Amino acid sequence: MRALIPTGQPETLIEIGLVDPPSARPDEALIKVTDISLNRADYLYLSDPASTFRPGIDAAGIVEQAAADGSGPPQGSRVVMHLPAGGGGAEYATAPADRLALIPDGVDSSTASALPLAGFVALRLLALAGSLEGRRILATGVGGGVGQIIIQLAIAQGAEITAVTAAGQPTQHITALGAKVTQDLDALEPNSFDLLLESVGGKLGSEAAYKLRTGGQYLWFGQASGHPISLDFFRLLQGGATLTLRHFIYSDGDGARDTADMDHLLRLAAEGRLQVQIGHLGDWVGAGAALKEMAAGRLQGKAVLKVT
């Protein structure tokens, strides 16, 4: 069957090639894939020339063959799946029942495929922050799929959110969701935010810490720049500020939790309370170019590929 496979070349990253079709275990369903959602993790894995990673952490499709043990959705169901090890970028994929969620009426497959990883990160990151009512949030690196969900969920919970973006990156979709936007971190008052959501690292992630009020929270969930943060103890001391720094990892490997969260995200989308902006929707032949656009921050939201 055809599948997205790594090329080991930075110019292309991936191509469509031939692989052996998957064989389903008794607790797995065979899915005919229709949509693949790209994530930054796909790009990071494929950037290694020696990588054997096959992209497709998030995908949607139709159950071609239900699990033999009777678990999971029946044949013909529209489903979305989250496969942490990848492999969903193919004509067919297998998935355990606890990695599948039924797509409700009113939600198209492309939208559903864009929800799992981005939605899990947003839901669980904000849950870790605690109550958001009346809190001021500063966020970096929220122009993509994760960010758009973070913004909507945070505002719905009563928070005010300011996004820091790089010059030249699109911001209309961020402001349309209700966030404030700045490209000049220095213009923001120090000690004025309750919570920092940081996923860029480097100088931006380091300097953003000094915008937190005394007792503020710093939740660190990424390092898109490739450079680590660096905090100056004495600068914090002289400024009279204290903060709590916490490193966030989105998954604990609990498939049942993944399905419950996926169902919740799909309900929000079906009820119109969660929008998913897709900045690139195209044929999977263009997967490599779409990955590069996403990694460069030039997309407004998610990149979704149709398996034709």
pLDDT tens, position by position, 229-251 = 998 888 887 776 788 999 888 87
Q: Check residue 238 and give its pLDDT.
A: 77
Q: Which residues pair with 92 in a beta bridge?
A: 32
Q: Check residue 297 and give its pLDDT.
A: 79
Q: Check residue 76 and give its pLDDT.
A: 97
CATH 3.90.180.10 domain extents, the chain: 2-114+276-306
Q: Check residue 240 and give its pLDDT.
A: 66
How many Cβ atoms from other residues are within 10 Å of residue 287's Cβ? 25
**CA-based Rg of the chain, rounded to a whole angstrom?**
20
Q: Which residues of the chain have pLDDT under 70?
A: 240, 252-253
CATH 3.40.50.720 domain extents, the chain: 118-247
Tell me the pTM.
0.92
How many Cβ atoms from other residues are within 10 Å of residue 9's Cβ? 12
Nearest C-alpha neighbor of 91 from the set 57, 51, 62: 62
Question: pLDDT digit string (tens) for 146-155?
Answer: 999 999 999 9
Residue 103, SS3 per DSSP? coil
Q: Check residue 5 and give its pLDDT.
A: 96
> What distance in Å separates the CA atoms of residue 152 and residue 134, rounded to the nearest whole number?
15
CATH topology of domain 118-247: Rossmann fold (3.40.50)
Q: Check residue 237 and give its pLDDT.
A: 79
Q: Check residue 38 and give its pLDDT.
A: 95
Nearest C-alpha neighbor of 141 from the set 161, 124, 114: 161
Q: Check residue 178 and give its pLDDT.
A: 93
Correct CATH for 2-114+276-306 of 3.30.1540.20, 3.40.50.2300, 3.40.1190.10, 3.90.180.10: 3.90.180.10
- Residue partners of 85: CB distance under 8 A and separation at least 6: none
Q: Check residue 253 and give its pLDDT.
A: 67
